[in-house]
Amino acid sequence: MRKAELVGFEKFVIKEVPDPEPGKGQVVIRVNYCAVCGTDLEPFRVLKEKNIDTRYISGSMNLWAQMTGITMYQLLGHEISGEIAKVGEGVEGWSVGDRVVPRAYGGYADYVIADVKPAGLFSGLYRIPDGVSMEEAALVEPLSVAVAAVRRSEMKLGDRVAIFGAGPIGLLILQCIRAAGAGEVFISEPLKVRREVAKKLGADEVINPREEDPVERIKDLTGGEGVNVAFECSGVGEVLRQAIEAVRVGVPEYRSRGRVMVVGIYPKPAVIYPNWVVLKNVELRGTLAYNPPSAPDDEFKIALTLLKRRMVNLKPLITAKFPLERINDAFREALEGKHIKVLIHP
Ligand SMILES: [Zn+2]
């Protein structure tokens, strides 16, 4: 089979490697689509930019690498949809041809191996419901990140929400908070393409932070109050300040503390004046990825239910598809910010 291997800066090489064989409790999946995640782009940024604290090689990829003992480069390609091609010994309830989303990695290839039993973050297999396309299914993993962020935010029915950064995760959070019954939703995003999609997907107000101060605008739109919850999805220090400023001042006796959800991954340290949080009585909460598949609330399952019930629409997010041979072009264009979500198909 073919496999794209990252061998240097902005350089994938398509290699011919032996077809994988499923071990006990495993299946081999023929990859239909593998989406490019922001974290897949990180090795490129790391190699390109200086001043990056390598202990946190900009976030989740390195953390996952530490947690799993797998190198960062091997982890590339984890937003996968496909069909079961081979079933290993001891696997029950799954057969060749089943349409699935695996918790797996190495998806820039013809085939991937997946562990059927949920044993860790990268194990477990989910059936794709009828009526959900393979393209949409490839985005179940990032949708799970958004589902987890929204559930952990404890947003309540009718809450006003601000989202800073309308990249894939910001746009998925937008759809999840709509499904969860958010009131007015305001989005701050510098890129026009993304602002347009945000508007289409139900944002009440889209703000271009290069033209106006998003904090001022959000204050105006909420009668000076600010929002109940702000999601910071940009990974930019200055924007984290804006998110803290955009939430309302906490009134403990009414349990109405504003909450900032830190979702973005920061390639550089951010400067925070703790009084922004303390004097406003604001809660600052981080959220990374999603629960392991063995947890009671498996966000992959929730994401698939939202898709099945058409409570989210992933199609407007998919703005490009590239064959595996053109993976270098796909990554270059993704890095240039030309697309919202790019799919690779072997
Ligand atoms: Zn991802």
Domain ranges of the chain: 2-139+314-345, 145-286
Distance in Å, CA 223 to ligand 1 centroid: 37
Residue type for position 56: Y
Find the range with the poorest average confidence among 10-14, 53-57, 64-68, 261-265: 53-57
d(CA 310, CA 304) in angstroms, rounded, equals 10
- Counting Cα atoms < 13 Å in the Cβ hemisphere of 201 gives 29
- Of the pLDDT bands very low, low, confident and very high (cuts 50, 70, 90), residue 40 is confident
- pLDDT confidence of residue 158: 96
Whether 125 shows a pLDDT value over 70: the answer reads yes
- pLDDT confidence of residue 58: 40
Distance in Å, CA 12 to ligand 1 centroid: 19
- pLDDT confidence of residue 176: 98
- pLDDT confidence of residue 50: 46
Distance in Å, CA 60 to ligand 1 centroid: 10
d(CA 43, CA 64) in angstroms, rounded, equals 13
Distance in Å, CA 256 to ligand 1 centroid: 32
Distance in Å, CA 221 to ligand 1 centroid: 33
Whether 114 shows a pLDDT value over 50: the answer reads yes
Question: Which residues pair with residue 113 across a beta bridge?
Answer: 28
- Counting Cα atoms < 13 Å in the Cβ hemisphere of 323 gives 3
Helix (H) or strand (E) holding 192: helix 192-200
- Of the pLDDT bands very low, low, confident and very high (cuts 50, 70, 90), residue 255 is low
Question: 128, 121, 118, 104: which is closest to 28 by C-alpha?
Answer: 104
Q: What is the DSSP string of 212-257?
A: S-HHHHHHHHTTT--BSEEEE-S--HHHHHHHHHHBPPP-GGGT--
Whether 74 shows a pLDDT value over 70: the answer reads no
Distance in Å, CA 225 to ligand 1 centroid: 34
Q: Per-residue b/e over 257-292, b at no fewer than 16 CB within 10 Å?
A: bbbbbbbbbbbeeeeeeeeebeebebbbeebebbbe
Options 3.40.50.10310, 3.40.50.720, 3.40.50.1100, 2.40.240.10; CATH for 145-286 is 3.40.50.720
Distance in Å, CA 80 to ligand 1 centroid: 10
Distance in Å, CA 90 to ligand 1 centroid: 29
Options 3.40.190.10, 3.90.180.10, 3.30.70.100, 1.10.10.10; CATH for 2-139+314-345 is 3.90.180.10
Average pLDDT over residues 257-284: 90
- pLDDT confidence of residue 42: 73
Distance in Å, CA 312 to ligand 1 centroid: 17
Distance in Å, CA 79 to ligand 1 centroid: 6
Whether 266 shows a pLDDT value over 90: the answer reads no
d(CA 151, CA 298) in angstroms, rounded, equals 11
Distance in Å, CA 36 to ligand 1 centroid: 7
* Residue 270 vs residue 309, higher pLDDT: 309
Identical fold for domains 2-139+314-345 and 145-286, yes or no, is no
